[in-house]
Every structure is written in C-alpha cells, then in structure tokens.
Amino acid sequence: MSNPKLQKINGVRGMNDLLPADAQQWTHLENAVRDLTRAYGYELLKTPIVESTPVFQRGIGEVTDIVEKEMYSFEDRLNGEQLTLRPEGTAALVRAVIEHNLLYDGPKRLWYTGPMFRHERPQRGRYRQFHQFGIEALGFAGPDIDAEIILMGQRLWDELGLRGVRLEINSLGQADERAQHRTALIAYFEKNASALDADSQRRLKTNPLRILDSKNPEMQALIEGAPRLLDFLGPESLAHFEAVQDLLKANNVPCKINPRLVRGLDYYNLTVFEWVTDALGAQGTIAGGGRYDPLIERMGGKSAPACGWAMGMERVLELMKVSESLPEATNLCDVFVLHQGGETLRTALVAAEEMRSAGIDVVLFCAPDGQAASFKSQMKKADASGAAYAVIIGPDELARNEAQLKDLRGGEQQRAIPLDGLLGTVIDALVATSE
C-alpha cells in the first residue's frame, strides 16, 4: 500500500527565501555597502541573532512598539533565560562594545549587517525577517561625525542610483530640554484628550513624545499644533544642530527640518534624521538614525557619545527597482565544458579545475539522470549560461588529445586545441573578448 501524499510545508509568512534570480541584486547592494564602509574607515562587527531580552528592553525602551508588540521572545528551555531574536542592530552592537571593552583605546567606527526579526503584518518592503545594514560611530561628541554619517548615506544613494530620496532632520535636544517639552506636551494633549486614539492615550502618561510619531491620519492636525521640541532647545543643542546643517550645506546635501521627526526608539538625543521617499507607498522611510549619547551608559557601560543609522535592505532594493538602477544580470560563467561521460568526463573535469585555478569561471555539464546527453542538448545549456566559450571534449577529441573551443558570442570559427595548450588558449581568448 502506497503512502498518502505528504502535505507541502511552506515558509513562514513574512520570512522570505532569497532565490537565485535575485541573488545578484543582493550581492550588488552588499558590495556597495562594503565599499562605502571601507571608504570611510568603518570596521565590521557581527553580533548573534539571539540576544538576552533585557538587551532590547533596556536598549530600545520598554514603552516602544518594538518591545511591546513586535519582538520574537521565548524562554530557553534549559535554563529559563529570556531570549529574543534581535529586532534591530544598535542595542546588540552596544552590548558587544561594552562586553569586550572596545572603547578602551579610543573612539570606534563600526558597521554591521544581517537579519532582524519583528512580528508585524507583512507588507511591501516590510517583513517579519528583514535585513539591515547599519553604521555606528562611538566615542565622538561633535557635529562633524553626525554630518559624516549622513554624508555616507547620501553617497550610498548616489552610488545606487536612487531617485526621489529626501533627507529630513530634527533635534531632540538633551534630557532636561525634553523634560520641559514633555510637560508642555502632556498639558497640550490632556487638553485635547478626546481627540487621542487608544495608543496615544496610553502613551500620554508613559512616553508622550511617541504620540508625535503616530501615523493615524485622523490625528495629524492635532499633532501639527503640538508644542515643538525645537522651541525648548538651549544654546548648546541649537549650536550643535546648526553646525550639522552647515556641514551638510557645505557638501551640497539638501535637507528639510521636520520638527515632528522623533524616531521610534527611546535612546536618541540631539540629531535625528530619516531618508524618505514617496515611491514605496506607506513604507516611506528607507533609512534613519541619529545621535544616542545616553545608550552606552544605560546599557551598563562607561558614558560615551555615539551616533549611527540603519537602512532596510529590502526597502532599498525595492526603491532600486522603482529607480530602474538595478544592475543587469551577469553570466554564470566564462566557459562551459561539454563531454560524453567516461574518460571524456575525467579529462573534462581536470581541464575545468585547471581553468578555475587560473581564475576562470567554469560550469561543467552534469547530466540530471547521470547519463551522457547529446552535444546538441548540452550546447543549449552552454548558450543559456551566458558563457563566452564552450570547451568540447568528446571521444574523437580525446583520441587526438584535443578539445574543441567554440566561440558562443562572436563569429570566430570552432577550432581544435591541443589539451596541453587549452588553458593558455582559453585565457588569450577571454582577454581578447574583454578588450
């Protein structure tokens, strides 16, 4: 009796596979961010996907959407420790910097990339597993580093050919200035309590600044009339903010001051910023960040200034599609090797390995069923691979100690090459093709 057909198992909603057709686009973006960090002297730091839950509760803030609603948290069955799949990169990076005492010999410029996890409703450019690239400058207090990290973002958008990306900036000042603003904000929203939605009513007593970040369209007019934090900034905070703007202007980077920009995390102070676009619908922010001077001390380290930003890689790829700046697909290989099995396979495999050792990308035909296929069917695969040349080793060629070299893209005639001269001939042919 045959077994019943097993039900297909699909992936988790909002956690997507990276298929070969999209891999080259990801590689292009990953190479661009690596080139960017190298150009500015930033070093790679990697943290685990799983962290102790308090890393994010303390780092991000208890009264945030991420901690309250979106984290994937669970209890370790062996020791009862509360663990969380990281929902963002900064808190985890700061934990690593403190644990390994990385600031003992001075400031650090660091970057990270990898998957993050948030339990939310999947939509275009917003997934439950998503990938971030982020840069963090720790130990620098001046406006120069704020400007530098913003300039890095602008350089990346230019390199990627993104269109319609706008920079918005604001200042959140310092703790005492935010406290004065908070008092005025509570008074304003209490006066208009009947117009607050449920989330805003809850936040009124815990974190009223978050109300300004509400996306509820029915509350936008109320938010627009709220007291502005910029009006509560003292001379030092204003001077810092104006210096950042001046450095951006000197580098021809336009920006718009958005007094309602507060970001979604509790650790920010002074400069905050976002790059936004109208091309992705509701998910208009592709990257953002700012200064977070209180975070290192809050996480248990010695007080030190810091700032950084992060981008969602899926959103940037979506915008690259809209901007029509994705690179064209490249060929799988330089050379495709055909054979008829047996001794011809052995010789073909040796020739392929010699070419690979010389830096040539080679695909060797392998029959799906293990049986030798006709040269006609193999040649179709060679054409589809995008290879510039095909190397053909059949029984007749092997008997003469030769291989056939076929130009797949030009008008050059197929020709016989002695096996001991095959590598040099292929190298010369590829060099000539590239000129």
Whether residue 2 has pLDDT greater than 60: no
Please say which residue of 260, 291, 322 terminates a domain.
322
Greater model confidence, 120 or 116? 116
Greater model confidence, 153 or 206? 153
Whether residue 94 has pLDDT greater than 80: yes
> DSSP letters of 212-254?
GG---GGGHHHHHTSPPGGGG--HHHHHHHHHHHHHHHHTT--
In a domain, 412, yes or no: yes
- Please tell me whether residue 373 adopts helix, strand or coil conformation: coil
Distance separating alpha carbons of residues 224 and 208, to the nearest angstrom: 14
- Over the chain, what is the mean pLDDT? 88
Q: What's the whole-number mean pLDDT along residues 197-223?
A: 80
Greater model confidence, 17 or 272? 272
Question: In the 8-state DSSP scheme, what is residue 283?
Answer: -
Q: Are 304 and 351 in a shared domain?
A: no
Q: Are 159 and 102 in a shared domain?
A: yes
Whether residue 120 has pLDDT greater than 90: no
In a domain, 284, yes or no: yes
**What's the pTM value of the predicted model, to 2 decimals?**
0.85
Q: Nearest to residue 274, comparing CAs of 286, 259, 291? A: 286
Whether residue 23 has pLDDT greater than 60: yes
Whether residue 299 has pLDDT greater than 60: yes
CATH code of 36's domain: 3.30.930.10
Give the pLDDT score at 411: 73
Cβ atoms of 365 and 378 within 8 Å: the answer is yes
Structural domains in the chain (count): 2
Q: Are 298 and 381 in a shared domain?
A: no
Backbone angles phi, psi at 91, to 5 degrees: -60, -40
Q: Are 352 and 396 in a shared domain?
A: yes
Distance separating alpha carbons of residues 26 and 39, to the nearest angstrom: 20
Tokens of 346: 């052995």
Give the Å distances, CA to CA, from 363 to 79, 333, 386.
49, 6, 11
Greater model confidence, 294 or 200? 294
**Which range is most confident: 58-67, 115-124, 370-379, 385-394?**
385-394
Give how far the C-alpha of residue 28 lies from the chain's centroid of Cα atoms, to the nearest Å. 11
Helix (H) or strand (E) run with residue 286 in it: strand 285-291
pLDDT tens-digit map of 342-395: 899 999 999 999 999 999 999 999 887 767 778 888 999 999 888 999 999 999
Whether residue 199 has pLDDT greater than 90: no
Cβ atoms of 244 and 250 within 8 Å: the answer is no
Give the pLDDT score at 175: 86
Whether residue 239 has pLDDT greater than 60: yes
Q: Are 312 and 399 in a shared domain?
A: no
CATH code of 375's domain: 3.40.50.800
Give how far the C-alpha of residue 133 lies from the chain's centroid of Cα atoms, to the nearest Å. 4
Give the Å distances, CA to CA, from 272 to 141, 260, 338.
14, 11, 58
Give the Å distances, CA to CA, from 69 to 62, 65, 87, 120, 323.
10, 5, 11, 8, 33
Cβ atoms of 68 and 38 within 8 Å: the answer is no
Per cent of the chain over pLDDT 90 is 53
In a domain, 364, yes or no: yes
In a domain, 279, yes or no: yes
- Which of 45-54, 248-257, 409-418 has the weakest average pLDDT? 409-418
Tokens of 91: 């808190």
Whether residue 220 has pLDDT greater than 70: yes
Tokens of 178: 């935010």
Per cent of the chain over pLDDT 70 is 96
Whether residue 266 has pLDDT greater than 70: no
Tokens of 209: 């600044």
Q: Are 312 and 364 in a shared domain?
A: no
Question: Residue 286 carries which side chain, given as an amino acid letter?
Answer: I
- Which of 3-7, 183-187, 347-351 has the weakest average pLDDT? 3-7
Give how far the C-alpha of residue 162 lies from the chain's centroid of Cα atoms, to the nearest Å. 15
In a domain, 182, yes or no: no
Distance separating alpha carbons of residues 335 and 388, to the nearest angstrom: 6
In a domain, 65, yes or no: yes
Greater model confidence, 51 or 410? 51
Tokens of 240: 């810092």
In a domain, 222, yes or no: no
Q: Are 122 and 62 in a shared domain?
A: yes
In a domain, 269, yes or no: yes
Q: What is the four-CA torsion angle of 403, 409, 412, 418, rounded to 10 degrees? A: -20
Q: Which domain holds residue 311?
A: 20-173+233-322
